[in-house]
Structure 1
Amino acid sequence: MKRSALISLIPAFLATASPVPQASKIAGLCGAAEVDELVGYGAKSTGGSGDTVTVTSCSELTSALSNGGVIHIDGQLTGCDIMNVKSDTTILGVGSSSGLTDSGFRIKKADNVIIRNLAMKNPPKEMDLIDIETSTNIWIDHNEFSAEGITGDKDFYDGLLDAKRGSDFLTFSWNKFSDHWKASLIGHSDSNGDQDTGKLHVTYHHNYWSNVNSRAPSIRFGTAHIYSSCYEDLPISGVNSRMSAQVLVESTAFVNVKRPIVTNLDSKEDGFAIEKDNLFENSEAQITQEKGFVPPYDYATDSADCICDYLKEKAGTGVIN
């Protein structure tokens, strides 16, 4: 087990060293960060308002989504297909097992959406569990996303949580991602730079990733801050920075992860990455170029030494009220 940076500079003459930014943060052992607090690039998200509508069927959910506001899902709903989410909407699961199976959400040309405490499994064929397109101020928190594992056709399902086409100001926090080929894609194409450059700002914090093949996340063009997360058993890649994307990864544990942080995989142009205060166990980063940035918000990190056990308890459903 190592806490130092295990970095392969490939090749060394391509690397451009930059000082690690000193972000405005509070560091501590596990428990420093508030479990029920919105921070990060998506911090302006407020979601829906007004009376709460509780739904127990796909038809009720589809109807409620057409009006926005505050929606509670009570129970596990199956076969709802892909449902559109409009601006100013909050979706919350009741208890620890409410959510969707063989269904998904599309957030397209929307602003101010919150989705929390849902157990979501198996999107419709070739679709995502949550697809965010050309949308802003989104908070995805304390959910559990999964599929059937990393066997069979890797393209039968698409992503668990994807964002693309100039989406911006996103926070994905305290979620569990497991048993899937392609977990989370930020920026869908190498040729979409005109729309994506200068956007796709996303914070991933306190997420638990297990038995995911790749894309944890994979990011093109954008800016990702990833901290206090745990990665276990990823056979292809973890954080994949591509097409001049910038990522800062800190206070995160990688256990049995091939290419836990990589900048020269899958695209015609490398990305950038800075890593600090991470733990690598049977995992070696592959960073070809570095460029730092300072996240424009205050945040608290939990230590990589204890983060995996902590997130197994505190991430996912059934934690928040």
Structure 2
Amino acid sequence: MKRVSYLLLSLAYSAACLPCHQGDPSDLIGYGNDNPLGTTTGGEGGEVVKVNNVKDLTAAISDNVPRVILVDGSFNLTSRLKLGSNKSLIGVGGTASFNNSGITIASVSNVIIRNLKVNFVYGNDGITIQNSTRVWIDHNEFASDLDHGPDHYDGQLDIVRASDWITVSWNYFHDHWKSSLVGNSDSLRSVDKDHFHVTYHHNRWENIGTRGPAGRFGHLHV
């Protein structure tokens, strides 16, 4: 999704890195927790599967059955991952990463993504949240480089098309031109109206060369 306006929230925290998160639901604050649809629980109560290859990963995320997917290792993706509803996608071992391509959360609800590194995603966003509700993006790292100029990569985390009830917490965004966008087009004003309830909590940004004004928010907590 190529866009013009990108959001840089100029908050910096002194910690050298963001620790892995063990998934205590009490840590969820903001709109991902407090909303009329119910707390974001992801795959809670469903089967727990551990994946270490793209084939098994794709199969585990593709339906809407509650499931906790434990991601083990580094994945060099050739196409975007598309999550179904009621999923927790959790990196384990401190090395879980997606490279070259990213994650699409589109027209679904109740998704958690945690403890992943999303790196060097060319031609699209690291994570795109579109027309989706109850999403928790927590304790992830997003990175690329500033060497290729502002149009080589797209956004690190973009929230668009009437998405709602989202918490973005304890993530580390760095070395990128375009970080996080909320809302992407004035032509979609009627679609987006009364949506974009988004909470950003204790995230960290470093070496971001973003340009342009902020996106069009509905209700943004920082």
- What is the TM-score with the length of structure 1 in the denominator? 0.57
1:5 matched residue in structure 2: none
2:6 matched residue in structure 1: none
Letter paired with 1:70: V
2:125 matched residue in structure 1: 128
Pairs within 5 Å for 1:1-321: 36=24, 37-43=27-33, 44-48=39-43, 49-67=45-63, 68=65, 69-123=67-121, 125-148=122-145, 150-214=146-210, 218-226=214-222
Q: Is the 8 A contact 1:184 1:216 kept in 2?
A: no
Equivalences, count: 191
Q: Is the 8 A contact 1:186 1:217 kept in 2?
A: no
Query: In the superposition, relative to structure 1, how do residues 112 and 46 fare at CA in structure 2: closer, same or farther (>3 Å)?
Result: same
2:12 matched residue in structure 1: none
Letter paired with 1:39: I
2:8 matched residue in structure 1: none
Q: Is the 8 A contact 1:171 1:204 kept in 2?
A: yes
Cα separation, 2, equivalents of 1:183 and 1:221: 15
Q: Which moved more, 1:83-92 or 1:189-198?
A: 189-198
Query: In the superposition, relative to structure 1, how do residues 168 and 215 fare at CA in structure 2: closer, same or farther (>3 Å)?
Result: farther
Q: Is the 8 A contact 1:184 1:218 kept in 2?
A: no
Cα separation, 1, equivalents of 2:107 and 2:119: 24
Q: How far apart are residue 80 of structure 1 and its match?
A: 4.0
- Across the aligned residues of Structure 1 and Structure 2, the Cα RMSD in angstroms comes to 1.9
In structure 2, the gaps of 5 or more residues are: 1-14, 16-20, 34-38
Q: Is the 8 A contact 1:139 1:171 kept in 2?
A: yes
Q: How far apart are residue 131 of structure 1 and its match?
A: 0.4
Q: How far apart are residue 219 of structure 1 and its match?
A: 2.6
Q: Is the 8 A contact 1:146 1:177 kept in 2?
A: yes
Q: Identity over the aligned pairs, expressed in percent? A: 45
Letter paired with 1:117: N
- SS of the residue 1:71 aligns to: strand
Cα separation, 2, equivalents of 1:179 and 1:79: 20
Q: Is the 8 A contact 1:141 1:174 kept in 2?
A: yes
In structure 1, the gaps of 5 or more residues are: 1-29, 227-321
In the TM superposition, what whole-angstrom CA distance separates every residue of 1:107-166 from its partner, at most 9, and x where no partner exists?
A: 01000000000011011x320111000000000000001112x22231121111111000
